[in-house]
Chains A and B, each alone.
Chain A
Amino acid sequence: MSIFVDDETRVVVQGITGGEGKFHTSEMITYGTNVVAGAVPGRGGDEINGVPVYNTVDAAVRTEDANAAVVFVPPRFASDAIFEALDADLELVVAITEGIPTQDMTKVHQRLSEVDTRLIGPNCPGIITPGQTKLGILPGNIFEPGSVGLVSRSGTLTYQVVSNLTDRDIGQTTAIGIGGDPIVGTSFIDTLDAFESDPHTEAVVMCGEIGGEDEEQAAAFITEQMDTPVAGFIAGRTAPPGKRMGHAGAIVSGSGTGTAESKINALTDADVPVGNTPDEVAEYIESFL
């Protein structure tokens, strides 16, 4: 089992003709993802890696019966691409694009409250259900099917923790990078909720980082709503206030919100052990299983 995506997921790739879109479409197909269509304005009728391209997402969805989209569209056009996907009644949209203007995302965020579609990202590595499908840029070879769910704000940190899990022969149900921007479509809580409802997920890794209050809110959710054990990791303990650590969202503000300490305390209070190192997180997970 898994959350959000599985081998039934039928994917349309927006921006399939671009460098990134083309390369990762081929990687996704190799992994086993059902990439059924591409959507690029003006390229309708083309074929990329054997995948038919349509001018609009709507045409792609109608013709190929897609239920999910992956967005590899450059930042200045990305919010329009997301709106187009949200208008096509898809179940899931995964936006990989980094560098979308924040004010574009506030409008997308507003639209999300009016539709049933889930958005993952932007500025994220995507989502993978090992052995079944991946939507995004995660390197498939480091994942193993198994019983641990993983949610993270960071891509490469996800890979690091997964490799620590895999080294201990611990596989994953689904792993999700929710993205490092201040405004993202799917939160920790959304993901934890889905893992809690998934009968095959026996434990969850949650990798947070400085900035915002998502981790604190997630800690409260874990206390109130979850039976599945969770182990955590928080990046940015040594980040000085006011300095953005790469991710637009990773910044400690002056009022004490967003600090690693506040997140670690919140998680500890929710009986979520927080690893000092990625491998310690894997060790906690091993002890849960």
Chain B
Amino acid sequence: MLSPIYPNEARGNRRIGAVTSVRRIPIDSVSIGDERDLYTLPSVTETMRLHEYQAKELFADAGIPVPDSQRATSSDEVLTAVEDIGYPAAIKAQVHVGGRGKAGGIKIAGDKQEAKAYAEEILGMEIKGYTVNSVLVEASVDFENELYIGITMDRSSGKPVAMVSTEGGVDIESVAAETPDAIAREHIDPVFGLHPYQARRAVYDAGVPSDVASDVAHILSTLYTQYESADASEIEINPVMITTDRDVVAADAVMNIDEDALFRQPELASMEDTAAGDDLEIKADEYGFDYVRLDGDVGIIGNGAGLVMTTLDLVDYYGGSPANFLDIGGGAKAERVANALDMVFTDDNVDAIVFNIFGGITRGDEVATGINEALEKFDTIPKDVVVRLAGTNAEEGMEILNTDRVEVEATLEDAVEQAVINAQEVHQ
């Protein structure tokens, strides 16, 4: 079988534990225009995503075989690369967003003309709001089988788990859902690491052809070493291709790093593509907010993940639609509060804002001062703000708060309901 493209790539970059839709696609029918809309997430809290080309460089350095490839940032570079690599070659957009295949971000060039055309088309294109700044030019591989191997954290056991399946090239979550027995799993003792016998057992249990079993087991062991030494949260090769020459090659690479561990991973930290987000997400990153952009029109600011999520849910419950998740964290001072409000004011999708604080270590007086500061910059308040202050120093906060310029509600429920009404009034 000749692979014109790595099948899962046509469906975009994905990772375990985070896929919006699962639909099994026969490998033969895979095309670039695949309908799958896989999630991936830009600048997610707590996880730093590496681009495919970066992960592949790390894999190659560790001794995992990868296809010939070169990263290119201009169509000239693409042409130089493709001359080295040969035709047909895949030109793959390097963006932190799912569904890049579907969006036209992956093409197969059969000759120079195509390579030039596709390079010009893909470089600079926007995929879901993210500009493609570079592509990976990669050799096609003639393959007979596709495997999945990956390592992730199993929350219920508190241990990393290694997974191997011969159902590679498709989304592992759909395999897990439809034929769970097709995935061999080995829980890993974090103190001892993945024992070689465990790697072998996983590979044999999964039914990997015996002539390549030891090669695959070796890749799995190397992958765990990478997982551990890089403080990865997920690491995945899907597919591992068994070529017609019975070689084993990593045709894809997903590697996400635990953001909490970046302090001891300076080299990986420097690989972060900080431009890979939309403006508000980049800004939120600078301010150190936990921020997620959503589709609605009610802006939400609060303290503490659980309470902010609850505020989002209540907006929905009262018939509105949340525009974002913004957690200012614990113990925020006035400046941080003002930054949060500034940020949400600049979001064009937001028609009304609810600011909900239940102070534990966050103090109501700091919050009120911050809100006043943010509002002072405007003659007319750009969007209605409803404030609810409770907990530590809430009374002091209420004395400070400029209540001529914001609405105040005593309970969470009332504050949310009012913000939803305010947003609806903007529409009318």
For residue A256, which residue of chain B has the nearest CB?
Answer: B177
Q: Do the beta carbons of A139 and B360 come within 8 Å of each other?
A: yes
| B 162-194 binary contact with A (CB < 8 Å = 1; else 0) | 000000000101001100000000000111000
Give the docked Cα–Cα distance between A156 and B41 (Å): 26
Q: A255 vs B183: C-alpha distance in the bound complex, in angstroms? A: 14
B41 A103 Cβ-Cβ under 8 A: no
Give the distance to chain B from A94, nearest Cβ to Cβ, in Å: 15
Interface size on A, residues (CB 8 A): 65
A244 near B261 with CB under 8 A, answer no
Which of B59-67, B71-79, B269-277, B303-311 is near enough to bind chain A?
A: B303-311
**Interchain CB contact under 8 A, B191 and A157:** no
Q: Is the CB of A245 within 8 A of B260?
A: no
Residues of A within 8 A of B330 (CB): 137, 155
A109 near B: Cβ within 8 Å?
Answer: yes
Chain A residue at smallest Cβ distance from B304: A156
List chain A residues, Cβ under 8 A from B176.
255
For A211, give the chain B residue with the smallest CB separation: B155
A76 at the interface (CB under 8 A from B): yes
* A248-281 interface bits toward B, Cβ cutoff 8 Å, 1 = contact, 0 = none: 1111011110001000000000000000111100
Q: Is the CB of A154 within 8 A of B304?
A: yes
With A110-B191, A159-B358 given, is the CB distance from A241 to B325 under 8 Å? no
> Within 8 Å CB of A235, what residues of B?
306-307, 309-310, 313
The answer to whether A48 has its CB under 8 Å from any CB of chain B is no
Closest to A244 in B: B45
A236 to B308, CA, bound (A): 9
CB-CB under 8 A for A248 and B45, given A139-B392, A239-B312, A253-B173: yes
Binds A, one of B17-25, B112-120, B235-243: B17-25
On whether the beta carbons of A183 and B155 are closer than 8 Å, the reply is yes
Interface-centre pick from B190, B231, B314 (highest chain A CB count, 10 A): B190
Of residues 169 through 223 on chain B, the ones whose CB sits less than 8 Å from some CB of chain A are: 171, 173, 176-177, 189-191
Known interface pairs A101-B231, A103-B258, A238-B312. Does A251 touch B17 (Cβ–Cβ under 8 Å)?
Answer: yes
Q: Is the CB of A157 within 8 A of B310?
A: yes
Task: Give the chain B neighbours of A209 by CB distance below 8 A.
Answer: 305-306, 309
| CB-nearest residue of chain A to B232 | A103
Which residues of chain A from 195 to 213 have a CB within 8 Å of any chain B CB? 207, 209-213
Report if A238-B46 is in contact (Cβ < 8 Å); known contacts: A103-B190, A139-B360: no
A160 lies within 8 A of chain B by Cβ: yes
Find out whether the CB atom of A250 lies under 8 angstroms from the CB atom of B309: yes
The answer to whether B310 touches A110 (Cβ under 8 A) is no
Give residues of chain B (129-156) contacting chain A, Cβ–Cβ below 8 Å. Answer: 153, 155-156
B25-67 interface mask toward A, CB cutoff 8 Å, 1 = contact, 0 = none?
0000000000000011100111100000000000000000000
Q: Is the CB of B309 within 8 A of A142?
A: no
Tell whether, in the assembled complex, residue B173 and residue A237 are in contact, meaning their CB atoms are under 8 Å apart: no
Question: In the complex, A193 Cα to B305 Cα: how many Å?
Answer: 26
B305 lies within 8 A of A246 (CB): yes
Q: Are B47 and A276 in contact (CB under 8 A)?
A: no
Q: Flag if B358 contacts A156 (CB, 8 Å).
A: yes
Apart from A233-B310, A254-B20: 5 A-B pairs, beta carbons within 8 A: A163-B391, A183-B153, A212-B155, A241-B39, A255-B173
- Hey, which bits of chain A sit against chain B, CB under 8 A? 75-76, 99-107, 109-110, 125, 137-139, 142, 152-160, 163, 180, 182-183, 207, 209-213, 217, 233, 235-251, 253-256, 260, 276-279
A-B contact pairs, 14 of them (CB 8 A): A102-B261, A155-B330, A156-B306, A157-B304, A159-B358, A160-B412, A213-B156, A217-B156, A237-B313, A241-B20, A243-B292, A248-B46, A255-B176, A260-B313
Q: Which 4 A-B pairs have the closest CB atoms?
A: A154-B306, A254-B19, A246-B305, A156-B304
